[in-house]
Amino acid sequence: MTLNPATISNIILIATGFAAAFAAALWLSLIIWTYRDIRRRARDPLVRILAVLVVAILFLPGVLVYLILRPPRTQEEEFQQTLEEEALLASIEESSLCPGCGRRVQEDWVACPSCYTRLKKPCHQCGKAIELAWNLCPYCGTPAPGMRRDVLNIDDAMRNLSGDAVSEGETGAGIDPANDNF
Ligand SMILES: [Zn+2]
Ligand SMILES: [Zn+2]
């Protein structure tokens, strides 16, 4: 069987047509892909247009150029990273530092093991570590030793209001810190 020249040229024509159609489809889909990809990575409309133009004009080498120059992370990934960084920063800020030496200390430590700075005071009632500035234990409601007198004064005032039987001497004795443990 022999092929005549007309048949051969027809086959070449059809093959060329297919190749051209494939190239056109590839070109178009690469432009669409680039547009979708750059839309997730860049907010600037000029950057988006430039990326699509590079691929549209340079075709396959343009895709290579785009892949090299495109922003490495999508906006979503960047947002996620920002969230992670913020969470990390918050956790660092949460763990407190010793005011004496600047080393990291645990929340429930009463003193710094490195420089012996007093960090917290133990509640004299329940023993939990509470802030030095707090005047009342938030765990059991017991007033800190320095604050007993004030609270006792309120107690005395209540006692005075409730009955006239309270004498001046009893009120004075009530101020004594050792007297409120009954
Ligand atoms: Zn310290
Ligand atoms: Zn307590």
Q: For residue range 34-64, list pLDDT tens digits in order.
A: 999 999 999 999 999 999 999 999 999 999 9
CA distances from 118 to 8, 52, 95, 124 (A): 96, 64, 17, 16
Compute the average pLDDT of residues 73-78.
Answer: 92
pTM greater than 0.75 (yes/no): no
Quote the ligand 2 centre to 143 CA distance (angstroms): 8
Nearest by Cα to 145 from 172, 176, 116: 176
Quote the ligand 1 centre to 149 CA distance (angstroms): 32
Quote the ligand 2 centre to 123 CA distance (angstroms): 5
110 in Cβ contact with 119 (< 8 Å): yes
Quote the ligand 1 centre to 95 CA distance (angstroms): 14
- For the cut 60, the answer to whether the pLDDT of residue 138 exceeds it is yes
Average pLDDT, the chain: 82
Compute the average pLDDT of residues 19-45.
Answer: 95
Instruction: Determine the pLDDT at residue 49.
Output: 95
pLDDT per position as a tens digit, 146-171: 654 555 555 655 665 565 444 444 44
Instruction: Determine the pLDDT at residue 36.
Output: 95
Percent of the residues in the chain that have a pLDDT greater than 90, as a whole number: 48
Quote the ligand 1 centre to 122 CA distance (angstroms): 18
Quote the ligand 2 centre to 166 CA distance (angstroms): 30
